[in-house]
Structure 1
Amino acid sequence: MRQIPAIAAGLAALAVLVTSGCSAPAPPRADAPPVTPPGPVTLPAPTGPHPVGTTVLHLTDTSRPDPWNPDADTRELKVTLWYPTGQRDGKPAPYMTPQESELLLKASRIARVSYDILSTTRTNAVRDAVPSGHGFPLVVLSPGFTKPVSTLTSLAEDLASRGYVVAGIDHTHENHGTVLPGGRVAECLACDSDSDPGFGTGVVQGRAADVSFVLDRLTTTWKHSRLIDRGKIAMAGQSIGGAAAVATMVKDPRVRAGIDMDGTTYARIPKDGLSRPFMFLGSKDHVPGGLDTSWDRDWKLLTGWKRWLVLSKAEHQSFTDLPLLAGALAVRPVPGVLPAARSSELTRAYVAAFLDQHLKSRRQPLLDKPSPRHPEATFCPEACARP
Structure 2
Amino acid sequence: MRTLILGGLLATTITLAGAVSSAPPAAARSLPYAALRLPRPTGSHPVGAATLSLADRSRTDPWVPASGARRLMVSLRYPARAAAGRHAPYMTPQESALLLEGQRVTDVPPDVLSGTRTDAFAAAPPLRGRHPLVVLSPGFSLPRSSLTSLAEDLASRGYVVAVIDHTYETFGTTFPDGHTTTCVACEQRQTPELARKVVGGRVADVSFVLDRLLGSRTWNGLIDPSRIGMAGHSIGGDGTAAAMGADARIRAGINMDGAINTPISGLSRPFLLMGTVAAHAPDSTVDPSWNKEWPHLTGWRRWVTVAGTQHSSFTDLHPLADQLGLDFGTDISGVRAVQITRAYVGAFFDLHLRHRPASLLDGPSGGYPEVGFWN
* TM-score greater than 0.5 by the shorter chain: yes
In the alignment, residue 346 of structure 2 is paired with which amino acid?
Answer: A
Structure 1 match to 2:47: 52
Within a 5 Å distance, the mapping from 1:315-326 to structure 2 comes to: 315-326=310-321
Structure 1 match to 2:268: 275
In the alignment, residue 359 of structure 2 is paired with which amino acid?
Answer: P
Within a 5 Å distance, the mapping from 1:1-387 to structure 2 comes to: 12=2, 15-20=4-9, 33=26, 35-39=29-33, 40-270=35-265, 273-284=266-277, 290=285, 292-332=287-327, 334=329, 337-381=331-375
Give, in angstroms, the shift of residue 32 of structure 1. 5.7
For residue 59 of structure 2, give the secondary structure of its aligned residue in structure 1.
coil
2:18 touches 2:310 (CA, 8 Å); kept in 1? no
Per-residue CA deviation, residues 247-290 of structure 1 (Å, 9 max, x unaligned), is 101111110000000000112122xx110000000112798874
Give, in angstroms, the shift of residue 36 of structure 1. 2.2
Cα gap change, 1:55/1:205 in structure 2, threshold over 3 Å: closer, same or farther? same
In the alignment, residue 236 of structure 1 is paired with which amino acid?
Answer: A
1:35 touches 1:330 (CA, 8 Å); kept in 2? no
Cα separation, 1, equivalents of 2:133 and 2:101: 34
Cα separation, 1, equivalents of 2:163 and 2:25: 37
Per-residue CA deviation, residues 282-307 of structure 1 (Å, 9 max, x unaligned), is 11279887461111111101110000
Cα separation, 1, equivalents of 2:82 and 2:321: 30
Cα gap change, 1:258/1:43 in structure 2, threshold over 3 Å: closer, same or farther? same
1:287 touches 1:310 (CA, 8 Å); kept in 2? no
Per-residue CA deviation, residues 143-163 of structure 1 (Å, 9 max, x unaligned), is 011100101111000000000
Structure 2 match to 1:3: none
In the alignment, residue 156 of structure 2 is paired with which amino acid?
Answer: S
5+ residue gaps, structure 2: none
Give the number of equivalent residue pairs.
365
2:80 touches 2:126 (CA, 8 Å); kept in 1? yes
2:8 touches 2:142 (CA, 8 Å); kept in 1? no
Cα separation, 1, equivalents of 2:92 and 2:78: 21
Structure-2-length-normalised TM-score: 0.92
**Could you tell which deviates more after superposition, 287-296 or 34-43?**
287-296
Cα separation, 2, equivalents of 1:53 and 1:217: 19
Cα separation, 1, equivalents of 2:341 and 2:17: 27
Structure-1-length-normalised TM-score: 0.89
Give, in angstroms, the shift of residue 222 of structure 1. 4.8
| Aligned-CA RMSD value | 2.4
2:134 touches 2:162 (CA, 8 Å); kept in 1? yes
2:275 touches 2:285 (CA, 8 Å); kept in 1? no
Cα separation, 1, equivalents of 2:154 and 2:118: 14
2:160 touches 2:223 (CA, 8 Å); kept in 1? yes
Give, in angstroms, the shift of residue 225 of structure 1. 1.5
2:276 touches 2:286 (CA, 8 Å); kept in 1? no
Give, in angstroms, the shift of residue 18 of structure 1. 2.7
Cα gap change, 1:373/1:32 in structure 2, threshold over 3 Å: closer, same or farther? closer
Cα separation, 2, equivalents of 1:283 and 1:327: 18
Cα separation, 1, equivalents of 2:204 and 2:93: 29
Cα gap change, 1:141/1:25 in structure 2, threshold over 3 Å: closer, same or farther? closer
1:135 touches 1:228 (CA, 8 Å); kept in 2? yes
**Identity fraction in percent:** 48
In the alignment, residue 314 of structure 2 is paired with which amino acid?
Answer: F
Cα separation, 2, equivalents of 1:370 and 1:289: 18
Give, in angstroms, the shift of residue 369 of structure 1. 1.4
5+ residue gaps, structure 1: 1-9, 382-387
In the alignment, residue 16 of structure 1 is paired with which amino acid?
Answer: I
Cα separation, 1, equivalents of 2:170 and 2:8: 12
In the alignment, residue 203 of structure 2 is paired with which amino acid?
Answer: A
